[in-house]
Amino acid sequence: MSAPAVTDQGGVRGGEVPSASPGIVADGHIGCNPAVHCPVLRAEGITKAYRRGVWPRRHQLDVLQGADVELCAGEVVGLVGENGSGKSTLMKILVGTLGADDGTVQISGRMGYCPQEPLLYDRLTCEEHLDLFGVAYGMDAAATVGAAEALYESLGFARWRDTQVAELSGGTRAKLNLALALLADPDILLLDEPYAGFDWDTYLKFWELTAERRAAGRSVLVVSHFVTDHERFDRLVELRAGKTVSP
């Protein structure tokens, strides 16, 4: 089986990005007519199986069996499906932290990723996390401070800026996780169950931020195992039996 072809993974957070495979297309531009239809992310025919257990009980779990996803500029799309349907697996493949068995992923623009399990350092404060990720994103110090202040304000966690992650509540960790994904103002934002730990005010704030991104032509893909606010999404994609379908 061939490795998936992946283009331009700039700005990704959340883990190690696999090195380029020989089939990769160079510049990250997805060929399309922007006046008609302009995907910033396109994944086609993604397959992924996990090998589980040890011999003689060794078996293969086919999680993704030809999943396709497309995300256009200014679109907010929900990726839904039952627990265990492969949503996080697909998102990790889109971001590049997990290799697919087959299929292609094309990306045009900078990506921000909010993993389902916050990948935070217990002994660093919120401020230190934002500084660290600012450097990793290649932002200058003033831009990082400006973006961090705006995120403290909009997500309401400024009072925890000097607190180590080990001392934070689950909800504040979720806010920091989201803030790190938003820090560099990515073109494509991939969020894996971002509001699981949010209180109601933060949940509403999250949707305000998402609407602002849509209005600015940014794209957001939100994984959720349940969708209560259908109208907040432009479109839903459901993972069922390893394939993506319109629910």
Ligand X SMILES: Nc1ncnc2c1ncn2[C@@H]1O[C@H](COP(=O)(O)OP(=O)(O)O)[C@@H](O)[C@H]1O
Q: Which residues bind ligand X (CB under 6 A)?
A: 50, 52, 61, 63, 81, 83-89
Task: List, in sequence order, every residue forming a beta bridge with 69; answer none if it has no partner.
Answer: 43
Q: Is the Cβ of residue 92 or residue 218 nearer to ligand X in the bound state?
A: 92
Interior CA angle at 171 toward 166 and 177, to 5°? 75
Strand ranges of the sheet holding 39-52, from the earlier edge strand across to the other edge: 5-6, 102-107, 39-52, 59-72
Shortest separation between residue 238's beta carbon and ligand X, angstroms: 11
Nearest to ligand X of 1, 35 (CB atom): 1
- Alpha carbons within 13 angstroms on the beta-carbon side of residue 9 total 22
Task: Find the length of the chain.
Answer: 247
When CB distances are held under 5 to 8 angstroms depending on the partner's kind, the choice from ligand X, Mg ion, none that residue 89 binds is ligand X
Nearer to ligand X (CB atom), residue 205 or residue 240? 240
**Residue 81: contacted member of ligand X, Mg ion, none (CB under 5 to 8 Å, by partner type):** ligand X
When binding is defined by CB under 5 A, the residue of 88, 104, 224, 244 that contacts Mg ion is 88
Q: How far apart are CA 193 and CA 148, in angstroms?
A: 22
CA separation for the pair 234, 175 (Å, rounded): 24
Over the window 46 to 85, marking each residue x when it contacts Mg ion by CB under 5 A and - when it does not, the resulting string is ----------------------------------------
- The residue with its CB nearest to Mg ion is 88
| Residue 51 C-beta: closest distance to ligand X, Å | 8
Partner from Mg ion, ligand X, none contacting 241, C-beta within 5 to 8 A by type: none
C-alpha radius of gyration, the chain, whole number: 18
85 interface partner picked from ligand X, Mg ion, none, CB below 5 to 8 A per type: ligand X
Q: Pick from Mg ion, ligand X, none: which does 147 bind, CB < 5 to 8 A by kind?
A: none
- Look up residue 243 and give its two tokens: 């394939």
> To the nearest whole angstrom, how small is the minimum distance from the Cβ of residue 189 to ligand X?
18
Task: Please choose, out of 110-118, 137-145, 168-176, 227-235, the segment that lies near Mg ion by the rule CB under 5 A.
Answer: 110-118
Q: Are 100 and 4 in contact (CB under 8 A)?
A: yes
Where do the H-state alpha helices sit in 96-189?
126-136, 141-155, 170-182
Binds 83, which of ligand X, Mg ion, none (CB < 5 to 8 A, cut-off by type)? ligand X
Residue 82 or 167 with smaller CB distance to ligand X: 82
Alpha-carbon distances, residue 88 vs 23, 54, 165, 199, 217 (angstroms): 25, 24, 24, 23, 25
Residues that bind Mg ion (CB under 5 A): 87-88, 116
